[in-house]
Amino acid sequence: MLLLDESRYHPRLLEAGGIAVVLFSSPACGTCRVVEKRLPTALPEGTHLFKVDVQRATGLARAFEIFHLPTLLLYRDGHFHARLESEISAPALRAAMARALARPAEEEP
């Protein structure tokens, strides 16, 4: 899981290409720690996983209007598709991603 900050957020997502999930979390958030552990095995193979520590990258949290942690954002080829709201299990998360990716890209929040 690669850590993103304000200066490299969009460039790294573009460089990664393909499907990417960004986890906005905090080390002080117990639910965030659980989600961080479950995500790698719940995501489809080949999905890039990035993390934003909202305590360090407060500008990103404000820009994306992150008010609840953890928050997952879905991208394809650097283009925002959706906030993922799903149980963190392989079937539920993969189904939510498939639904979101079937729609056109959206504007970032």
**Domain assignment of residue 109, yes or no:** no
The b-or-e profile of 78-103 (16+ CB within 10 A means b, else e) is bebbbbbebebeeeebeebbeebeee
- CATH value at residue 24: 3.40.30.10
**Domain assignment of residue 107, yes or no:** no
- Average pLDDT (49-74) is 95
Residues of the domain holding 82: 2-102
What is the percent of the chain where pLDDT is above 70?
Answer: 100
How does pLDDT run across 85-97, given as a tens digit for each residue? Answer: 999 999 999 999 9
**Domain assignment of residue 85, yes or no:** yes
**Domain assignment of residue 73, yes or no:** yes
**Domain assignment of residue 37, yes or no:** yes
pTM, rounded to two decimals: 0.95
Do residues 16 and 44 make contact, with C-beta atoms less than 8 angstroms apart? no
How does pLDDT run across 19-48, given as a tens digit for each residue? Answer: 999 999 999 999 999 999 999 999 999 999
